[in-house]
């Protein structure tokens, strides 16, 4: 079976990009990174991609101005670049842009995101600070299909971590990030192999051989 071509969209450091680069280095992994695209010309993650030999592209959103028409024009350029690279799966990895409903609809079922909370709790920004303030005891991260509503798409997998006494936002973020680096490649693998998919009913369907999942990682990446 041919490997699925993955585009990773970044705006910053690209640590989740690195986890996908590392996973794709395994010849048995069912996907390959065919494009790393950033909306920020100076994103450090572009250096990670270059070091791994992955093709890179910058589409600077600031060149499109502001407002609904500018957002639509940026997303059209984004979609055109993905189509030109013949991308099968699009992975958002710290991509700090809210995508238009038209873009999300066009790439529905092929557009993934990772969020540093156990969705549907703590959508949006400043997640770690808000979890500390709320006093939650279990935190984590979620990989989901992207929908038009922010951080609300069907969930593919989640990983949980404890919130320890004395944690601050940075300490909790670091613990969650470790699990993000495990969870994202595991979920991309399931999608690329066709063992998990988004159905017409808007829910994630798994093959029977996909385990229910370990307590700290669901679904199980095996």
**Domain map (residue ranges) of the chain:** 1-107, 115-143+156-222
* Catalytic residue list contains 115: yes
With bands split at pLDDT 50, 70 and 90, how would you rate the model's confidence at 221?
A: very low
Q: What is the pLDDT of residue 217?
A: 54
Q: What is the pLDDT of residue 216?
A: 43
Q: Which of 61, 115, 144, 181 is catalytic?
A: 115
- Whether 89 has a pLDDT exceeding 70, the answer reads yes
Domain 1-107 has CATH 3.40.50.170: yes
Q: What percent of the chain stands above pLDDT 70? A: 95
Q: What is the pLDDT of residue 207?
A: 85
Same fold across 1-107 and 115-143+156-222: yes
Radius of gyration for the alpha carbons in the chain, expressed in angstroms and rounded: 17
Domain 115-143+156-222 is classified in which CATH homologous superfamily? Formyl transferase, N-terminal domain (3.40.50.170)
User: What is the layout of strands, in order, in the sheet containing 4-10?
Assistant: 56-58, 31-38, 4-10, 89-92, 111-115, 138-145, 155-162, 217-218
Pick the range with the lowest mean pLDDT from 118-127, 164-173, 187-196, 198-207: 198-207
**Other beta carbons within 10 Å of 14:** 23
Q: What is the mean pLDDT of residues 72-82?
A: 97
């Amino acid at each position: 079976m041919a490997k699925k071509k993955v585009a990773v969209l970044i705006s910053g450091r690209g640590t989740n990009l690195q986890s996908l680069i590392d996973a794709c280095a395994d010849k048995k992994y069912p996907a390959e990174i065919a494009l790393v695209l950033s909306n920020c010309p100076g994103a450090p993650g572009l250096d990670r991609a270059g070091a791994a030999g992955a093709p890179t592209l910058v589409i600077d959103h600031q060149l499109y101005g502001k407002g609904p028409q500018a957002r639509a024009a940026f997303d059209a350029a984004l979609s055109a670049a993905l189509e030109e690279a013949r991308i099968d799966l699009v992975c958002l990895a710290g991509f700090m842009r809210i995508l238009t409903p038209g873009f999300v609809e066009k790439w529905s079922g092929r557009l993934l995101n990772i969020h540093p909370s156990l969705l549907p709790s703590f959508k949006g920004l400043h997640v770690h600070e808000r979890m500390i303030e709320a006093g939650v005891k279990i935190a984590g991260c979620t990989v989901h299909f992207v929908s038009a509503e922010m951080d609300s798409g069907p969930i593919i997998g989640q990983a949980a971590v404890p919130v320890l006494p004395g944690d601050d936002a940075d300490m909790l973020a670091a613990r969650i990030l470790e699990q993000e680096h495990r969870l994202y490649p595991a979920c991309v693998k399931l999608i690329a192999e066709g063992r998990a998919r988004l159905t017409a009913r808007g829910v994630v369907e798994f093959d029977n051989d996909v385990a229910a999942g370990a307590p700290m990682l669901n679904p199980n990446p095996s």
